[in-house]
């Protein structure tokens, strides 16, 4: 009798363990806002990029540049440093910012230094291996007029099973020729998490 009870107990435990391990994965729309942990996520990156680029493009610096040169300004997105306590992939955020700039049609965007080197390597290879009529010429790169850079900071406040997660993104746009800061912007996100 005790052996049968033990066998049934082991079988029940095995069944519960197998049931707990079953996982369901469902594909969802990439634009759907889901926040599981309360930490910085893809939705935060997209929303901050949209709001901040909308703000920077609505300011006087762009019109001043156009009136002076009769051209769209060229922007490079530099470093956006994560100074928060958590891991945030700043490259994803930088790409969201570049996308917003490009899709606005109001500015031109050039590659950052890492990708410029890759382009230059390819251009050098073309000088040796591509036909003359398809080689891309040296000295035709578009120089940036302005550089955007900034930081992501966070503050966590926690007591028992309640927590607030606060993020502040500070960005600034500087004239590359004069070093003048022509725009400062910030965006704050605060999340309340309760377990």
Taking the CA atoms of residue 30, residue 34, residue 35 and residue 40 in that order, the dihedral angle to the nearest 10 degrees is: 20
Q: Give the class (CATH, top level) of 41-134+143-194.
A: alpha beta
Per-domain residue ranges for the chain?
A: 41-134+143-194
How far apart (Å, rounded) are the C-alpha atoms in residues 195 and 175? 46
Digit-coded pLDDT (tens) for 10-57: 666 666 665 566 788 777 777 777 777 778 888 888 999 999 999 999
Region of 101 on the Ramachandran plot (φ > 0 left; ψ -120 to 50 alpha; else beta) = alpha
Parallel, antiparallel, or unpaired: how do β-strands 146-159 and 162-175 relate? antiparallel
Beta strands in 121-161 (DSSP E): 146-159
Question: Which pTM was predicted?
Answer: 0.79
Digit-coded pLDDT (tens) for 105-157: 999 999 988 888 898 888 989 989 989 999 888 988 899 999 999 999 999 88
**Closest to 190 (Cα-Cα) out of 160, 150, 154:** 154
């Amino acid at each position: 009798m005790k052996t049968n009870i033990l066998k049934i107990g082991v079988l029940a435990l095995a069944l519960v363990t197998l049931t707990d391990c079953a996982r369901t994965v469902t594909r969802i729309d990439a634009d759907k806002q889901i926040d599981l942990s309360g930490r910085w996520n893809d939705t935060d990156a997209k929303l901050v990029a949209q709001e901040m680029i909308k703000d920077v493009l609505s300011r006087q610096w762009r019109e001043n540049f156009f009136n002076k040169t009769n051209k769209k300004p060229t922007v490079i997105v530099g470093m956006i440093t994560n100074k928060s306590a958590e891991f945030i992939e700043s490259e994803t955020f930088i790409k969201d910012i570049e996308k917003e700039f490009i899709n606005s049609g109001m500015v031109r965007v050039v590659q950052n230094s890492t990708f410029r080197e890759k382009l230059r390597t390819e251009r050098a290879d073309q000088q040796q291996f591509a036909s003359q009529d398809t080689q891309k010429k040296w000295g035709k790169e578009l120089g940036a007029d302005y550089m955007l850079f900034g930081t992501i900071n966070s503050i966590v406040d926690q007591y028992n099973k309640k927590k607030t997660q606060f993020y502040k993104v500070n960005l600034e746009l500087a004239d590359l020729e004069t070093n003048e800061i022509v725009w400062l912007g910030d965006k704050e996100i605060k999340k309340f998490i309760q377990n």
